[in-house]
């Protein structure tokens, strides 16, 4: 049996951000997640954008959190060495109907306290984005829409939380709760039973199932699938900004934008499905991305696609982002309806949930030893030749390139395995360092990374997983 002051269920962006914020107080924090690594599900597969909230529903908790979180990211990314770029977004109108919608979208942005949205002419937009559809009539410029590495954000939250005293219990599924005397007395998992003074449900797509264990499932979470294309870095048609379509009631639409690492990202779809683990892609969905993005950027070259993927958003029914507490379950905080703006909102949600816990009784004693600084793994490909030479002299394994597409070295891979939140699978290495994310998609480096993981973890190569338990990279030997 484990005892803790605060138990957070879910190690996605929101759960890890809350954990980091709570380590600013003198409380014992434990994060539990059924996955083998931090990152959740939605936090691993999204548009990688830090939003302003210009198009959020006005006067809602979502718009408040996103607008508040956006300015936090510059310092947050500097403190924790997270890749981050201020590229801005444009929202072009191509039809008379879309053109007539621009004033209402700008007014909505002002209602959400995003005052720096500007109207631009067709000439101004084409000067900013030469590959834009020449039929553009006008548009809006949203300068504070940024791009980030979403998984490194989650890893940084988690590592900084861990260095400040939080604990992580991964590969452990919550299966039940004991509720008595208006409190959660304990949480049952596939590992040990956990006793916590406060329980926070940040389980994303599975939030409603955890809420049902506390008797608070008066809503449902329905997955909404978004399919994406990723284009090679050398594609002949690129954009400089996030190119946003005019949003609809269902979706923000299919966009095209650079990634923080130089690829082009196209998507997503918005498909309501029932299976919370269905991250498959299909021809109709991917074709719809191509068709819609070509209305924005006619010359987008989909032949340069190197991979596709799908993410699932936690669509709440009834809708709305909620942070709820209850009189009849006094030590429980329930977070639901965190969808496409959840990555952005995570920075503010950490602070909001901390204040919520204080309101329901969490003691306030500040951790005077809290450190904001988290050092990243040295990125060999981004160093000067002088810096690379210096690093190789210090650790010769940084001179051994394992992934040719992304120039990832053995030294970086071993560092990732030995971090406070260790990378223990092929995908965990890929998300932190990008081997396997280039043109060959791991065709060259995957066997070598499997060997490194096996050696460092003291396992056989047959025991190394792609991601979840049982997803073996090697299924057996064809000869002795």
Task: Give pLDDT tens digits for 271-294.
Answer: 999 999 999 999 999 999 999 999
Q: State the Cα–Cα distance between residues 172 and 175, nearest whole angstrom.
A: 9
**What's the rounded mean pLDDT across residues 192-219?**
97
pLDDT in tens, 329-354: 999 999 999 988 999 999 999 999 99
Give the model's pLDDT for residue 477.
81
Secondary structure class of 180 (helix, strand, coil): strand
E strand map for 149-270: 167-169, 174-180, 183-189, 194-201, 220-231, 242-243, 255-258, 264-267
Q: How far apart are CA 35 and CA 172, in angstroms?
A: 7
- pLDDT number for residue 45: 86
Q: How confident is the model at residue 435 (pLDDT cuts 50, 70, 90)?
A: very high
Query: 193: exposed, middle or buried (C-beta count within 10 Å: 0-12, 13-18, 19+)?
Result: middle
| pLDDT band with cut points at 50, 70 and 90 for residue 250 | low
Q: Do domains 2-45+150-219+318-359 and 85-147+223-314 have the same CATH topology?
A: no
The predicted structure's pLDDT at residue 301:
96
Query: Residue holding tokens 């039940």?
Result: 176
Give 85-147+223-314's CATH code, choosing from 3.30.70.20, 2.40.50.320, 3.40.50.1970, 3.30.9.10.
Answer: 3.30.9.10
Q: How confident is the model at residue 251 (pLDDT cuts 50, 70, 90)?
A: low
Among 144-153, 330-339, 467-476, the least confident range: 467-476
Please compute the mean of the pLDDT values over residues 260-265 and round it to a whole number. 97
pLDDT of residue 253: 86
- Taking residues 62-70, what's their average pLDDT? 97
CATH architecture of 380-463: Orthogonal Bundle (1.10)
DSSP 8-state class, residue 115: T
Structure tokens at 433: 């360092």
Give the pLDDT score at 284: 97
Residue found by looking up tokens 């499905």 in the block: 273
Buried-exposed string 204-233: b where 16+ CB fall within 10 A, e elsewhere: bbbbbebbebbebbebebbbbbbbbbbbbb
Would you state the pLDDT for residue 480? 73
Delimit the domains of the chain by residue range. Answer: 2-45+150-219+318-359, 85-147+223-314, 380-463
454-471 confidence digits (pLDDT tens): 999 999 999 999 998 899
pLDDT value for 478? 83
**How far, in Å, CA of 14 to CA of 31, rounded?**
11
pLDDT in tens, 362-399: 999 999 999 999 999 999 999 999 999 999 999 999 99
167-169 vs 29-32, strand pairing mode = parallel
Query: Does the 2-45+150-219+318-359 domain belong in CATH 3.50.50.60?
Result: yes
The residues that are catalytic are: 51
Token readout for 206 is: 């599975």
105 pLDDT more than 70: yes
Q: How many CB atoms lie within 10 A of CB 256?
A: 28
At residue 41 the predicted structure's pLDDT band, cuts being 50, 70 and 90, is confident
Average confidence (pLDDT) over 98-117: 96
Per the prediction, the chain carries an average pLDDT of: 96
Q: CB of 191 within 8 A of CB of 168?
A: no
Average pLDDT estimate for 20-39: 97
């Amino acid at each position: 049996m484990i005892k803790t002051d605060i138990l957070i269920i879910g190690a996605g962006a929101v759960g890890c951000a809350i954990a980091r914020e709570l380590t600013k107080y003198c409380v014992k924090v434990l994060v539990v997640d059924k996955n083998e690594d931090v990152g959740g599900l939605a936090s691993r597969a999204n548009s990688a954008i830090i939003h302003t909230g210009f198009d959020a529903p006005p006067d809602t908790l979502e718009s408040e959190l996103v607008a508040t979180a956006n300015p936090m990211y510059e310092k947050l990314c500097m403190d924790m060495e997270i890749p981050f770029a201020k590229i801005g977004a444009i929202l072009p109108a191509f039809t008379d109907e879309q053109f007539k919608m621009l004033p209402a979208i700008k007014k909505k942005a002002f209602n959400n306290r995003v005052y720096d949205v500007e109207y631009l002419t067709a000439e101004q937009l084409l000067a900013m984005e030469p590959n834009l559809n020449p039929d553009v009539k006008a548009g809006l410029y949203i300068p504070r829409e940024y791009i980030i590495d979403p998984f490194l954000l989650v890893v940084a939250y988690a590592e900084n939380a861990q260095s400040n005293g939080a604990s992580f219990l991964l590969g452990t599924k919550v299966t039940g709760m004991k509720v008595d005397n208006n409190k959660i007395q304990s949480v049952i998992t596939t590992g040990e039973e956990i006793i916590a003074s406060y329980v926070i449900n940040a389980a994303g797509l599975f939030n409603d199932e955890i809420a049902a264990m506390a008797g608070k499932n008066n809503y449902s979470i329905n997955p909404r699938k978004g399919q994406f294309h990723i284009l090679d870095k050398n594609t002949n048609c690129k954009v400089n900004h996030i190119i946003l379509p005019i949003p609809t009631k269902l979706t923000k639409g299919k966009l095209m934008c650079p990634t923080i690492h130089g690829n082009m990202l196209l998507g997503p779809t918005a498909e309501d499905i029932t299976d919370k683990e269905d991250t498959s892609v299909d021809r109709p969905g991917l074709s719809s991305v191509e068709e819609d993005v070509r209305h924005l950027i006619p010359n987008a070259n989909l032949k340069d696609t190197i991979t596709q993927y799908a993410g699932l958003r936690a669509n709440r029914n009834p809708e709305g982002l909620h942070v709820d507490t209850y009189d009849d379950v006094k030590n429980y905080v329930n977070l639901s309806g965190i969808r496409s703006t959840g990555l952005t909102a995570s920075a503010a949600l950490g602070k909001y949930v901390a204040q919520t816990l204080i309101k329901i009784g969490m003691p306030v004693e500040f951790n005077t030893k809290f450190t904001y600084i988290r050092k990243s793994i040295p990125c060999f490909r981004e160093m000067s030749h002088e810096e690379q030479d210096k690093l190789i002299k210090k650790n010769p394994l940084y001179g051994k390139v394992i992934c040719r597409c992304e120039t990832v070295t053995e030294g970086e891979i071993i560092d990732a395995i030995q971090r406070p939140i260790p990378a223990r699978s092929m995908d965990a290495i890929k998300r932190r360092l990008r081997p396997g994310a280039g043109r060959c998609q791991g065709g060259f480096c995957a066997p070598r990374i499997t060997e490194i993981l096996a050696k460092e973890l003291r396992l056989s190569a047959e025991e190394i997983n792609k991601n979840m338990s049982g997803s073996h990279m090697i299924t057996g030997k064809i000869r002795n």
